[in-house]
Amino acid sequence: MTAEGLAASPNAVELIRVRLPFVRPFRTSFGTETEKDAILVRAMAGDGLEGWGECAAMAAPRYSGEWTDGALLVLRDFLVPAALTGSDSGVRGHAMAKAALEAALLDLELRSRGVSLAAHLGGVRDRVECGVSLGIEDDLDILLEQVRRFVDAGYRRIKLKIEPERDIEVVRVVRAGFPSISLTVDANAAYRVEGADHLRTLDEFGLDYVEQPLGEDELLGHADLQRGMNTPICLDETITSATVAADAIRVEACRVINIKPGRVGGLREAVRIHDLAEAAGIPVWCGGMLETGVGRAANLALASLPNFRLPGDTSGSDRYFHRDLTEPFVVDPDGTMAVPDGPGIGVHPLPEALKEFAVQREMIRTA
């Protein structure tokens, strides 16, 4: 997206790198995270109005090919200069960097018009159902304690991260302790097609879905696996665009889709995927990238669209941080969270929090 055609055009963009420690290390099949290392995009108009976006890229390119340092450079040297001059950047890839800039420009625009992001995107509800994604734990008692904590807090779906060797027994133990909760697993692409027989044993645990068992580019591999499995497959990493989503649905590679605005290059593309999945009868839910309140606010607005029919990884601030960048997001005892209804994303980073967590700031102005 360019600045052209916007009521509020930015004359400067600040890139702010923040580091926020997590309350608990988050381990997946691709690595362990101990802090959120993110870039905030702050789009500024002459009249003091500003718009905010958060880049979903993580510190290392392990979830996808993007990472924070790379995203910072592609924003600084290509995407932001193009946006400031209203030209097409011509950049291929870098979905998360593009999504962050798009979000900031859209937030600026919507704030100037006094329209909430949820209303702009076509949201139909003022609260969304929340799930939680729990990292891999060596000690199963600790994992059970975590599940207990979030079930008691009202969360409507528990997702367990799995990897080869830490899968069936983990699910067996959690399912035995919590026979009736809504339970899912996420492999983050850790399995090979040859592991299909092993993955099929997950069918006995009544999971809502198994998320991204195979590699990002394994569209047909997932279709083969889904044919032999009762548990629905939910795709995350594979769904990089509306085109891929349409192909995945066509070849029946999944029955559920996780939508993350960063992974698909922005909110517009996310809405396109929402719409085509809805037309095909495929439910979607809003994924997360352990975002601060800035990214979370935009995710909540997206999750208010009608086909977001399953609880998202839209957890409360306290699940991630001792202190968030924004006013904390809170999950009510009924497992739902309010969708911000103020102009734009409806929240902004608190100045004291920015002071505490910002580690690098770079201003880019129109020439």
Q: Which residues in this chain contact ligand OSB in the complex, by CB under 6 A?
A: 63, 133, 186, 188, 236, 287-290, 313, 315
Residue in the block written with tokens 């420009």: 105
Residue 189 CB, nearest approach to Mg ion (Å): 9
Closer by beta carbon to ligand OSB, 3 or else 239: 239
Selected range binding Mg ion among 115-123, 169-177, 202-210, 230-238, rule: CB under 5 A:
230-238
| Other residues' Cβ atoms within 10 Å of the Cβ of residue 222 | 23
Q: Go through the chain and tell me how many residues it has.
A: 367
Q: Which residues of 43-75 are buried (b: 16+ CB within 10 A; e: fewer)?
A: bbbeeebbbbbbbbbbbeeebbebbbebbbebb
Residue 73 CB, nearest approach to ligand OSB (Å): 21
Closer by beta carbon to ligand OSB, 96 or else 105: 96
Q: Nearest residue to ligand OSB, using CB?
A: 288
Closer by beta carbon to ligand OSB, 315 or else 336: 315
Residues 6 or more apart whose CB falls under 8 angstroms from that of 242 comprise 264, 269, 272, 273, 276
Selected range binding Mg ion among 40-48, 207-215, 243-251, 278-286, rule: CB under 5 A:
207-215
Q: Give the rounded distance of the alpha carbon of 44 from its chain centre.
A: 25
Q: Which residues are catalytic?
A: 161, 260
Strands 12-28 and 31-44: antiparallel
Residue 140 CB, nearest approach to ligand OSB (Å): 19
Q: Which residues of 150-181 are buried (b: 16+ CB within 10 A; e: fewer)?
A: bbebebbbbbbbbbeebbbebbeebbeeeeeb
- The token pair that represents 190 in the structure block: 């850790």
Residues 6 or more apart whose CB falls under 8 angstroms from that of 241 comprise 264, 265, 269, 273
Closest CA to 41 of 101, 97, 84, 102: 101
Closer by beta carbon to ligand OSB, 52 or else 63: 63
Which of ligand OSB, Mg ion, none does residue 226 bind (CB under 5 to 8 Å by kind)? Answer: none
- The token pair that represents 48 in the structure block: 């003091």
Closer by beta carbon to ligand OSB, 231 or else 317: 317
Residue 188 CB, nearest approach to Mg ion (Å): 6
Instruction: Decide: is 33 part of the binding site for Mg ion (CB under 5 A).
Output: no
Closer by beta carbon to ligand OSB, 6 or else 290: 290
Residue 53 CB, nearest approach to ligand OSB (Å): 16
Site string for Mg ion, 59-88 (x = CB under 5 A): ------------------------------
Taking the C-alpha atoms of 299, 300, 305 and 311 in order, what is their torsion angle to the nearest 10 degrees? 100
Distance separating alpha carbons of residues 85 and 288, to the nearest angstrom: 31
- The token pair that represents 234 in the structure block: 């939910």
Residue 45 CB, nearest approach to ligand OSB (Å): 30
Among 50, 186, 208, 324, binds Mg ion (CB under 5 A): 186
Q: Please check whether residue 99 is in contact with residue 267, taking contact to mean a CB–CB distance below 8 angstroms.
A: yes
Among 129, 236, 291, 324, binds Mg ion (CB under 5 A): 236
Residue in the block written with tokens 């066509």: 250
Which of Mg ion, ligand OSB, none does residue 53 bind (CB under 5 to 8 Å by kind)? Answer: none
Residue 192 CB, nearest approach to ligand OSB (Å): 18
**Positions in the binding site for Mg ion (CB under 5 A):** 186, 211, 236
